[in-house]
Amino acid sequence: MNQRTLLITLTGPDRPGVTSRLFSVLSGFPVVVADVEQVVIRGRLILGVLVAYAGGPPTGTGSTIGGLWTAVEKVAADLDMDLEITTGTSAKEKRRRGRLHVTVLGAPLLPAAMAGIAGRIAASGANIDRIERLSNYPVTCIELAVSGADPQALRAELAAEAAAQQVDVAVQRSGLYRRAKRLIVMDVDSTLIQNEVIELLARHAGCLDEVARVTDEAMRGELDFAESLVRRVALLEGLSEEVFEKVAKEVVLTPGARTLVRTLKRLDYRFAIVSGGFTQITDYLVADLGIDYSAANTLEVVDGRLTGRVIGEIVDRPGKARALERFAAESGIPLSQTVAIGDGANDLDMLARAGLGIAFNAKPVVRQAADTAVNVPYLDSILYLLGISREEVEAADAEDGMPPALT
């Protein structure tokens, strides 16, 4: 039998008891709750309740639904709120194809960007079911629940709009698929930290310009990473091993790095770093941040000085992907539940292998290949892609007695 539905929308000043009052009235009628949404924006409440019932149209105040209609109108009048009631018919609420989360990041986020994104969603035949703000500083993050869309097609459309509007947009499947990512594997140089460690070492060795030139070629994918590493490390021959402690003090974390790691560890995520850099520096980061797994190259030291060689297998582009697989196996986490984050060409295999690959302030070739790109300079913005809001992060910090973080 077909069911009739009533969508009841109350709008007005927020105050205690509005939701309770409405549902108390509804409890006196033969209806079932099909859906509820409530949002408060700057003290103004919008409450929508969808109820379903069997029977004909709600005409006449003597009918059961006519009585409900009158009762709800009285609630709205008593509370001095605006009321809208709309009717419909549905045999069953249909599951819409392609339920997705669309995350929009901007600093600032302008109305034109939201207009362009909403327009592309509408043009694809999809519907925006819900909009929620996850953060308003240091970046604005808006999340849209979208139904009726093909993920790949919508991702391509919104990527083009994001580039035009200079914002970041991520498209992910909703539900358990999105919430199940439990291992984060991150590149180090120019991702977790703002530096390139080999350039810090090269400055102490007096060969910075030459090393930087080779680094740029490798990051653009113009030079094999293993070859470039051998060439650059050779220039460090003769440096005292005391340089490691000096360089560790020069390393600068990317804004939001501590917040990102701290928050994910609270949620029982495993956190790993994988680097084409060197264990002599990544070991400091592991100890400082409480990182679970790490992989990096090791510089050979003999009699207290660098020999200009690397010990063991080089961690290069394929090596980073193998490290991701190894960390996932050690933690008992499927690859589909992993997130990889990187910025350079030798991160590409790792990004492709992970359940979600994120290009963070990356080179163009990496942005094009990754599932999504984040171009704002705050690493903790990645939390929003996982559905974690700024308010939730700050609330957890407050419970632990920590001062509010800027990022």
CA angle 235, 239, 243 (to 5 degrees): 120
Radius of gyration for the chain, computed over Cα atoms and rounded to the nearest angstrom: 27
pLDDT of residue 93: 46
Buried b (16+ CB within 10 A) or exposed e, 12-21: bebeeebeeb
Q: Which helix (H) or strand (E) element contains residue 390?
A: helix 390-399
Cα 146 to chain centroid distance, Å, stands at: 16
Terminal-to-terminal C-alpha distance of the chain: 54
Taking the C-alpha atoms of residue 389 and residue 41, their distance in angstroms, rounded to an integer, is: 16
pLDDT exceeds 80 at position 92:
no
Same fold, 3-90 and 184-195+237-399: no
Taking the C-alpha atoms of residue 137 and residue 368, their distance in angstroms, rounded to an integer, is: 27
Burial of residue 295 (CB within 10 Å: 0-12, 13-18, 19+) is buried
CATH of 184-195+237-399, one of 3.30.428.10, 3.40.50.1000, 3.40.50.300, 3.30.930.10: 3.40.50.1000
User: Lowest-confidence range among 15-24, 374-383, 387-396?
Assistant: 387-396
Give residue-wise pLDDT tens across range 28-83: 898 899 888 888 877 888 899 999 886 554 444 445 778 888 999 999 999 999 99
Give residue-wise pLDDT tens across range 226-247: 888 999 999 999 999 999 999 9
pLDDT confidence tier of residue 264, bands split at 50, 70 and 90: very high
Residue 189 is among the residues annotated as catalytic for this protein: yes
Contact 331, 183 (CB under 8 A): yes
- Tell me the torsion sign for CA atoms 357, 360, 363, 364: positive
For the whole model, what pTM was predicted? 0.78
pLDDT of residue 59: 45
Taking the C-alpha atoms of residue 369 and residue 353, their distance in angstroms, rounded to an integer, is: 12
pLDDT exceeds 70 at position 97:
no
Query: Domain 100-178 is classified in which CATH homologous superfamily?
Result: ACT domain (3.30.70.260)
Span 365-386, mean pLDDT? Answer: 92
Taking the C-alpha atoms of residue 350 and residue 303, their distance in angstroms, rounded to an integer, is: 36
Nearby residues of 313 by Cβ (< 8 Å), 6 or more positions away: 319
pLDDT exceeds 70 at position 152:
yes
**Percent over 90 (pLDDT), the chain:** 63
Burial of residue 270 (CB within 10 Å: 0-12, 13-18, 19+) is buried
pLDDT of residue 61: 44
pLDDT confidence tier of residue 176, bands split at 50, 70 and 90: low
Q: Residue ranges per domain, the chain? A: 3-90, 100-178, 184-195+237-399
Domain 3-90 fold is: Alpha-Beta Plaits (3.30.70)
Contact 210, 168 (CB under 8 A): no
pLDDT confidence tier of residue 407, bands split at 50, 70 and 90: low
Give residue-wise pLDDT tens across range 268-299: 899 999 999 999 999 999 999 999 999 999 99
Give residue-wise pLDDT tens across range 100-119: 999 999 989 999 999 999 99
pLDDT exceeds 80 at position 180:
no
Taking the C-alpha atoms of residue 284 and residue 272, their distance in angstroms, rounded to an integer, is: 14
Which of 189, 343, 347, 349 is flagged as catalytic? 189
pLDDT of residue 58: 47
Residues in the chain: 407
> Which residue pairs from 364-369 have beta carbons closer than 8 angstroms and sit at least 24 positions apart in sequence?
365/220, 365/221, 366/342
Strand-pairing partners, residue 6, are 51, 87
Q: Who wins on pLDDT, 405 or 196?
A: 196
pLDDT of residue 75: 93
Tell me the H-state helices in 147-224.
151-165, 176-179, 197-205, 208-219
Which of 168, 187, 347, 380 is flagged as catalytic? 187
For the chain, what is the mean pLDDT? 88
